[in-house]
Chains A and B, each alone.
Chain A
Amino acid sequence: AQKITQTQPGMFVQEKEAVTLDCTYDTSDPSYGLFWYKQPSSGEMIFLIYQGSYDQQNATEGRYSLNFQKARKSANLVISASQLGDSAMYFCAMRERNTDKLIFGTGTRLQVFP
């Protein structure tokens, strides 16, 4: 069964520093997609970045990059130059080829301090 594991319940980072949020996944499907979402205290889920299982290069979107290591089944999110507004919950999610359903991890709460 597919599963997403986020082992860091909380992370702290100083403003302007980089931070890595861990995500490992389990699936038997060779074709899948991996997503990261940000959820501020206001509640909405904001899409950050996507990585397809067959993508040759790691995905990047502005200050966000995804460190995709397929053999290790990990898809860590790297946020560069952290900002105070990055403080939020971050969720990793996976979707297998034949479904649209997203399976989410339990999230990591990131706090950025001055």
Chain B
Amino acid sequence: EAGVAQSPRYKIIEKRQSVAFWCNPISGHATLYWYQQILGQGPKLLIQFQNNGVVDDSQLPKDRFSAERLKGVDSTLKIQPAKLEDSAVYLCASSDSEKETQYFGPGTRLLVL
């Protein structure tokens, strides 16, 4: 079974630029999550989708971050415009709605200069 796929793996941008990350969850997983992991901290949930609907986006900075999951499969997370403090690893995870475990992708390391 293929795992969660993410791209790109690394991205370097200048502040005020835009960036987008892509995630393809494990096949059949209805729930998809985006986490932000700042250096030295544990991951923090940004947004959760159930199929193509948003379940929880309470910690998403909506003035600059947006996410979508069209057709309930792939998802994109966008930052526009980026700030220095957005430098982090962005992790995508998915879970089967009937099970407990979230499986994570390899993450995208973002550096904002």
A interface residues, Cβ below 8 angstroms from B: 4, 33, 35, 37, 42-47, 50, 52, 91, 93, 95, 99-102, 104-107
Contacts and interface: CB of A to CB of B under 8 A. Distances in A.
Contacts of B40: 106
Contacts of B101: 35, 47, 50
B43 A99 contact: no
A66 to B, nearest CB: 14
B104 A44 contact: yes
B66 interface: no
A111 to B, nearest CB: 16
B28 to A, nearest CB: 16
Interface residue SS majority, chain B:
strand
Contact-residue size bin, chain B (C-beta under 8 Å from the other chain): 20 to 34
Contacts of B42: 4, 91, 93, 104-107
A98 to B, nearest CB: 11
Chain B CB within 10 Å, residue with most, of A43, A50, A102: A43
Q: Which 10 A-B pairs have the closest CB atoms?
A: A104-B42, A45-B104, A43-B107, A44-B106, A101-B45, A91-B42, A104-B43, A47-B101, A33-B100, A105-B42
B56 interface: yes
Interface in B61-99: 89, 91, 93, 95
A101 B106 CA distance: 19
A107 B89 CA distance: 15
A10 to B, nearest CB: 12
A106 B42 CA distance: 5
Interface string B27-38: 000010100000
